[in-house]
Amino acid sequence: MISYKEPFFILETQSLTYAFKVMETKHLEHLYYGNKLSHDDLENLHTKLTAKARGVVDYSETEGKDVPLDLMTLEYSSFGKGDFKLSPLEVKMPDGTFVSDFIYHKHELINGIVPSDKLPTAHDGSDQTKSLIVTLKDTKFDIYLDLIYTIFFDSDVMTRRVVMRNHSKKSISIRKIMSMMFDIYGNHYEMLTLDGGGIKEGQKHITPVSYGTYINSSSTGISSYKHNPGVILLEKGTHEDYGNCYGFNLIYSGNHYTAIDQSSHGILRVMQGINPSFFEWDLKHEQSFETPTVVMTFSSKGLNDLSHHMHHFINHHIIPRQFKDVVRPIVINSWEAFYFDFNEKKLLNLAKKAKHLGIELFVLDDGWFSTRNNDLSGLGDYDVNTKKLKTGIKGLADKIRHMGLKFGLWFEPEMINPNSKLYQKHGEYSVQIEGREPSLGRHQLLLDLCNKEVRKYIIDQMSEIIDEAKLDYIKWDMNRYMTDVYSKHIKNQGMFFHTYVLGLYEILSTLRNKYPNILIETCSSGGNRFDLGMLIFGPQIWTSDNTDPIARLSIQKGMSYFYPLSTLSNHVSLSPHEQTLRKTPLHTRFNVAMFGVLGYELDFKYLSKTELKIIKEHILFYKMHRHELQFGDFYRFNEDDPYHMYYQVSKNDKHFYGDFQILTLPNPNLEMLKLKRLDKDKSYHMKSINQKMTLDKFGHLISHALPIKLNPNKFLFRLLTKLKMLDNAIEDVTLSGTALMHGYKLKQQFMGTYYNNQTRIMGDFGSQIYIIKESS
Ligand code: DGJ
Q: Please tell me the residue having the least CA distance from ligand 1 atom 4.
A: 525
φ, ψ at 99 (rounded to 5°): -85, 130
CA of 595 to the centre of ligand 1 (A): 21
Pocket test for ligand 1, best of 479, 530, 600 (most atoms within 8 A of CB): 479
pLDDT, tens digit, 9 for 90 and up, residues 432-467: 999 999 999 999 999 999 999 999 999 999 999 999
pLDDT, tens digit, 9 for 90 and up, residues 489-513: 999 999 999 999 999 999 999 999 9
Instruction: Give the separation between CA 690 and CA 705, rounded to whole angstroms.
Output: 17
Answer whether 335 contacts ligand 1 (Cβ < 6 A): yes
pLDDT, tens digit, 9 for 90 and up, residues 30-43: 999 999 999 999 99
Answer whether 525 contacts ligand 1 (Cβ < 6 A): yes
| pLDDT exceeds cutoff 80 at 702 | yes
- CB neighbours of residue 726 within 10 Å: 16
Q: Please tell me the residue having the least CA distance from ligand 1 atom 11.
A: 366
Instruction: Give the separation between CA 558 and CA 213, rounded to whole angstroms.
Output: 24
CA of 565 to the centre of ligand 1 (A): 21
Pocket test for ligand 1, best of 338, 364, 365, 578 (most atoms within 8 A of CB): 365
Q: Considering the chain, what percentage of its residues have pLDDT values greater than 70? A: 100
The mean pLDDT of 591-608, rounded to a whole number, is 97
Answer whether 336 contacts ligand 1 (Cβ < 6 A): no
Strand-pairing partners, residue 165, are 144, 288
The answer to whether residues 90 and 81 touch, using CB atoms and an 8 Å cutoff, is no
Lowest mean pLDDT among 355-369, 491-505, 662-676: 662-676
Nearest atom (ligand 1) to Cα of 524? 3
CA of 366 to the centre of ligand 1 (A): 7
The answer to whether residues 161 and 171 touch, using CB atoms and an 8 Å cutoff, is no
The mean pLDDT of 505-532, rounded to a whole number, is 98
Instruction: Give the separation between CA 514 and CA 312, rounded to whole angstroms.
Output: 27
Q: Which residues are catalytic?
A: 477, 545
Instruction: Give the separation between CA 42 and CA 40, rounded to whole angstroms.
Output: 6
pLDDT, tens digit, 9 for 90 and up, residues 71-117: 999 999 999 999 999 999 999 999 999 999 999 999 999 999 999 98
pLDDT, tens digit, 9 for 90 and up, residues 231-243: 999 999 999 999 9
The secondary structure of 686-699 as a DSSP string is EEE----EEGGGTG
pLDDT band for position 118 (cuts 50, 70, 90): very high
Q: What is the pLDDT of residue 692?
A: 86
Mean pLDDT of the chain: 96
CA distances from 748 to 386, 393, 640, 688 (A): 58, 54, 19, 14
Instruction: Give the separation between CA 312 and CA 157, rounded to whole angstroms.
Output: 9
Answer whether 362 contacts ligand 1 (Cβ < 6 A): no
Answer whether 141 contacts ligand 1 (Cβ < 6 A): no
The mean pLDDT of 597-624, rounded to a whole number, is 96
The answer to whether residues 167 and 105 touch, using CB atoms and an 8 Å cutoff, is no
CA of 524 to the centre of ligand 1 (A): 8
pLDDT band for position 667 (cuts 50, 70, 90): confident
CA distances from 64 to 30, 147, 431 (A): 18, 25, 55
CA of 196 to the centre of ligand 1 (A): 18
How far the first Cα of the chain sits from its last, in Å, is 39
| pLDDT exceeds cutoff 90 at 706 | no
Q: Please tell me the residue having the least CA distance from ligand 1 atom 2.
A: 525
Answer whether 451 contacts ligand 1 (Cβ < 6 A): no
Q: What is the pLDDT of residue 67?
A: 93
Q: What is the pLDDT of residue 722?
A: 82
Answer whether 366 contacts ligand 1 (Cβ < 6 A): yes
Q: Please tell me the residue having the least CA distance from ligand 1 atom 3.
A: 525
Pocket test for ligand 1, best of 200, 335, 520, 555 (most atoms within 8 A of CB): 335
Q: What is the pLDDT of residue 678?
A: 97
Nearest atom (ligand 1) to Cα of 523? 3
Q: What is the pLDDT of residue 758?
A: 86
Q: Please tell me the residue having the least CA distance from ligand 1 atom 10.
A: 366
Pocket test for ligand 1, best of 363, 379, 542 (most atoms within 8 A of CB): 542
| pLDDT exceeds cutoff 90 at 614 | yes
Instruction: Give the separation between CA 546 and CA 555, rounded to whole angstroms.
Output: 9
pLDDT, tens digit, 9 for 90 and up, residues 155-203: 999 999 999 999 999 999 999 999 999 999 998 999 999 999 999 999 9
Answer whether 526 contacts ligand 1 (Cβ < 6 A): yes
The secondary structure of 91-120 as a DSSP string is EE-TTS-S---EEEEEEEEEES----SSS-
Pocket test for ligand 1, best of 338, 363, 366, 375 (most atoms within 8 A of CB): 366
Q: Please tell me the residue having the least CA distance from ligand 1 atom 9.
A: 525
The mean pLDDT of 286-307, rounded to a whole number, is 98
The mean pLDDT of 288-303, rounded to a whole number, is 98
Q: What is the pLDDT of residue 696?
A: 82
Instruction: Give the separation between CA 768 and CA 396, rounded to whole angstroms.
Output: 39
pLDDT band for position 673 (cuts 50, 70, 90): very high
Q: What is the pLDDT of residue 701?
A: 86
CA of 335 to the centre of ligand 1 (A): 7
Q: Considering the chain, what percentage of its residues have pLDDT values greater than 90? A: 90
CA distances from 372 to 376, 381, 448, 668 (A): 7, 9, 21, 51
| pLDDT exceeds cutoff 90 at 639 | no
| pLDDT exceeds cutoff 80 at 53 | no
Answer whether 523 contacts ligand 1 (Cβ < 6 A): yes
In single-letter form, the type of residue at position 337 comes to A
φ, ψ at 210 (rounded to 5°): -125, -165
Answer whether 368 contacts ligand 1 (Cβ < 6 A): no
pLDDT, tens digit, 9 for 90 and up, residues 400-423: 999 999 999 999 999 999 999 999
| pLDDT exceeds cutoff 90 at 366 | yes
pLDDT band for position 12 (cuts 50, 70, 90): very high
Whole-structure pTM value: 0.97
Q: Please tell me the residue having the least CA distance from ligand 1 atom 5.
A: 545
Give the CA-trace dihedral at 227, 232, 237, 238, to 10 degrees: -120
pLDDT band for position 752 (cuts 50, 70, 90): confident
165 sits in which H/E element: strand 157-166
CA of 645 to the centre of ligand 1 (A): 28
| pLDDT exceeds cutoff 80 at 535 | yes
Q: What is the pLDDT of residue 264?
A: 84
Q: What is the pLDDT of residue 727?
A: 85
Q: Please tell me the residue having the least CA distance from ligand 1 atom 1.
A: 525
pLDDT band for position 327 (cuts 50, 70, 90): very high
Q: What is the pLDDT of residue 748?
A: 92
Sign of CA dihedral 449, 452, 453, 459: positive
CA of 338 to the centre of ligand 1 (A): 12
pLDDT band for position 616 (cuts 50, 70, 90): very high
pLDDT band for position 120 (cuts 50, 70, 90): very high
Strand-pairing partners, residue 262, are 212, 268
| pLDDT exceeds cutoff 80 at 753 | no
Nearest atom (ligand 1) to Cα of 545? 3
Answer whether 410 contacts ligand 1 (Cβ < 6 A): yes
CA of 253 to the centre of ligand 1 (A): 19
Q: What is the pLDDT of residue 423?
A: 98
Q: Percentages helix, strand, coil for the chain, rounded to the nearest 5?
A: 25, 30, 45
pLDDT, tens digit, 9 for 90 and up, residues 170-180: 999 999 999 99
Answer whether 365 contacts ligand 1 (Cβ < 6 A): yes
In single-letter form, the type of residue at position 53 comes to A
Decide: residue 47, CB within 10 A, 0-12 exposed, 13-18 middle, 19+ buried.
Answer: middle
